[in-house]
Amino acid sequence: MFFFKIRNKVSMIFIILMGFFFSGCEKEKYLVVYTSVDEVYSSKIFKEFEKETGIKIKPVYDVESAKAVGLEKRLLLEKNHPQADIFWNSEPLRTARLAKQEIFQSYLEFNVSLYRNSNYYDKNKKWFALGERYRVIIINKNKIKKIPKKFKEIWNYKKIAISNPFMGTTATHFAALYHKLGEKGFIELLKKIKNSKVVILAGNSVVKDMVAKGKYVVGIVDTDDANVALKHKLPIKIIYYNQTNNGVFGIFSTISIIKNAPHPDLAKKFMKFVLNRKTEKFLIDEGLFKSSVFKNGYRYNIKSWTLNPNIYINDLNKSTGLLRKFL
């Protein structure tokens, strides 16, 4: 009898301890965020969110050489059993492709009238823009004296470097150029690029580094990479080309909630925290973005153009096919 009493007491203690354990697990709040936004910037937002809400962020980052592409594939594979709550993408085109595949759920609470125009959101509220960067020319000031003012002029130079045209913002840029120029004009551009013997490097940051070192004298990168070069006083000059025409191409980041996300209510809290001018201005000041996508937000004083990715969503495969053929 004594043995059974002891055993029952031990069992009760075990049950109580397990109860404490599982209640502790239930209280632990966290979100899984897939992002291709550089960690040096996105991690600061995650820390502020955790500090303000007590909700922990478990980020999954894409690598520089596979910007957005790796996460796009992962989200498609996980469609029937989502592991992530949020997708924060550094560019809009692959986000739009994922939305077409029903990867995201609508976030109806956000007021899209806050945006400057309809380029910056999905009409079904599956994705939303935050901050805008620009695709710019960089030159090594010690190697080049004559400064190119037009996008088409840079292909007259030798020792040009670009990032992998099948990944990230470079792929998005080429798809937008295909849409803008048409197939004939796009092929003509690719022929000029090929004749210039352009070198393709792993990522925009690599292009920036190699131009700064003088291995290549001209490159095309995003403004955040160019800003890093200026911050470190590297011999780089940024060229905002085509300013007498339609200007440089603008690329914005996008944020979405994953459909059937494990933590949908917490995901909405993250959306509310991030999608505002305060968070965006912080990232502008940090050097990630150059301009605001919101009305009355800060705009860098240059000419630029952008497109809603739904307009040129089908041009990515076309531009990619021609890039493979001509480059």
The pLDDT of 53-79, averaged and rounded, is 87
In this prediction, residue 184 carries a pLDDT of 98
Domain boundaries, the chain: 23-132+252-306, 133-248+316-326
Please say if the pLDDT value at position 16 is more than 70: no
* Torsion angle of C-alpha atoms 65, 71, 76, 81, degrees rounded to 10: 150
In this prediction, residue 67 carries a pLDDT of 57
The fold for domain 133-248+316-326 equals: D-Maltodextrin-Binding Protein; domain 2 (3.40.190)
Please say if the pLDDT value at position 25 is more than 80: no
Half-sphere exposure of residue 21, counting CA atoms within 13 Å on the CB side? 6
The pLDDT of 101-119, averaged and rounded, is 98
Confidence bin at 69 (pLDDT 50/70/90): confident
Would you call 216 exposed, middle or buried from its count of C-beta atoms within 10 A (0-12, 13-18, 19+)?
buried
In this prediction, residue 237 carries a pLDDT of 97
Q: Tell me the C-alpha distance between 273 and 53, whole Å.
A: 9
Q: Is the dihedral of CA 214, 217, 220, 224 positive or negative?
A: positive
**What SS3 state is found at 89?**
strand
In this prediction, residue 3 carries a pLDDT of 42
Q: Helix crossing, 277-286 with 39-53: angle to 10°? A: 140
At 182-230, the pLDDT tens digits run 999 999 999 999 999 999 999 999 999 999 999 999 999 999 999 999 9
Confidence bin at 65 (pLDDT 50/70/90): low
Residue type (1 letter), 12 = M
In this prediction, residue 250 carries a pLDDT of 99
Q: Tell me the C-alpha distance between 302 and 125, whole Å.
A: 29
E strand intervals along 122-179 = 128-140, 160-163
CATH of 23-132+252-306 among 3.40.190.10, 3.40.50.720, 3.30.1330.10, 1.20.200.10: 3.40.190.10
Radius of gyration of the chain (CA): 23
Confidence bin at 64 (pLDDT 50/70/90): low
In this prediction, residue 28 carries a pLDDT of 72
DSSP 170-210: HHHHHHHHHHHHHHHHHHHHHHHHHHTT-EEES-HHHHHHH
Question: Is residue 313 within 8 Å of 93, Cβ to Cβ?
Answer: yes
As a whole number, the mean pLDDT across the chain is 92
Higher per-residue confidence, 243 vs 1? 243
Percent over 70 (pLDDT), the chain: 90
Q: Tell me the C-alpha distance between 86 and 263, whole Å.
A: 9
The reported pTM is 0.90
The pLDDT of 61-74, averaged and rounded, is 78
Same fold, 23-132+252-306 and 133-248+316-326: yes
Q: Which residues contact 60 (CB under 8 A, 6 or more apart)?
A: 32, 33, 34, 35, 71, 84
Q: Is the dihedral of CA 114, 120, 126, 127 positive or negative?
A: negative
Please say if the pLDDT value at position 51 is more than 90: yes
